[in-house]
Amino acid sequence: MTFSGVLALTALLLAAAPAPAVAESAPQSFSVGAMPALVLQAMVAPEIASRPGESVGAAVNRVEADAMEQSGNGAVERVDIITPHITDSHELELPYWKAPFYKAVHLPRWKPVMIGGFAVDLSPTKHVVFILLAAVLTMLTLVGAARAHSRDHRERGVPKGFAGGLEAMVLYLREEVVMKNIPHGGARYVPFILTLFFLILFANLLGLIPYGSTATGNISVTATLAIVTFIVVEVAGMRALGAGYLKTIFYWPSDMPIAIKLPMTLIMTPVEIVSKLTKPFALAIRLFANMTAGHIVVLALIGLIFSFASIASAAPLLMAVAIMMLEIFVAFLQAFIFALLSSVFIGQIVESH
């Protein structure tokens, strides 16, 4: 497994694990036994070396007592900067001029709606706000660039500035991503693919700015995008193939004798169905895991800065800056991959005949 695969798997496991609710006013007690084994070994090993006759248990107790004594009140307050950033919540963090330089604004809570005996909470959350903000930015950017392009084309014959740069990006996506993978009738799917790309791109970038949040780091958001893409893919197949669309579900080898057709159909039909379902699953997990993993790495490196609290903190600071630069590239890359794979899936089912 590659390093990126390990990061993605780690992010998925961390996001799936529920975070315990901790009161802000009550600091957690210090416990050496709750620490990871490698950290415990690193702390206790020097103590054992300084006193060769001391047992491991006594060294552990001494390390714990020293830490509690240094804390002053017998407890060490732990600050979690990773989980609140990558999980959803019903409050926003807005800039504030006093320490800690942010102010929590609680979003409105609505009464749950009962659907089929289940209570569905439709209250807005932090990720809902940022995915809506990404949608607004997508609309303003594309509509504004289109109007500027029309005005410049009418006055000068060629676009300039931001509209010209955005035109180059749109033309590349149209010609190299959509039309290359959907050669017949691909023009009708260009608006959908462009919307996917820019919506995901803005959602990714909003998580890299201060007080921002990555909506695409929420599996519900990426799953919704994948389900919408799945519906578009299947409807495109129905329109292009007609009754032949059923062959993409039920495997029926027409060039084989009936004695082979029946067992092949029974065996391969579940495989065809699973292959349809794995496509949106892969789209959702890939985008979610990559965006979450990057933030975990950045926040972990930032945490090391406060842990070292010395000249050695310059190393994790430089690494955090490098990872942030990589995250900007990943934001563009993941939006491009989602758009590319969506085009490939549409092209596969449209051209299957």
Q: Per residue of the chain (353 residues), what is the pLDDT tens digit?
A: 443 443 344 443 434 444 433 333 334 433 444 444 444 444 445 555 555 555 555 655 565 556 555 545 545 455 566 676 778 888 888 888 877 777 888 888 888 888 888 888 888 899 999 999 999 999 999 998 888 888 887 887 777 788 888 888 999 999 999 999 998 888 999 999 999 999 999 999 998 888 888 899 999 999 999 999 999 999 999 988 888 888 888 887 777 777 787 888 888 889 989 989 999 999 999 999 998 888 888 877 777 776 766 656 677 778 778 888 888 999 999 999 999 999 999 999 988 65
pLDDT for res 81: 62
Identity of the residue numbered 277: L
DSSP letters, 265-296, are: HHHHHHHHHHHHHHHHHHHHHHHHHHHHHHHH
Compute the radius of gyration of the chain from its Cα atoms. 27
CB 317 within 8 A of CB 201: no
**Structure tokens that stand for 272 in this block:** 């065809």
What's the pLDDT at 18? 41
Distance CA 260, CA 184 (A): 34
Single pTM value for the model: 0.73
Q: Is the CB of residue 86 less than 8 Å from the CB of residue 295?
A: yes
* Residue 114, burial from CB neighbour count under 10 angstroms (0-12, 13-18, 19+): exposed
DSSP per residue, 185-244? TGGGGHHHHHHHHHHHHHHHHHTTSTT---GGGSHHHHHHHHHHHHHHHHHHHHHHHGGG
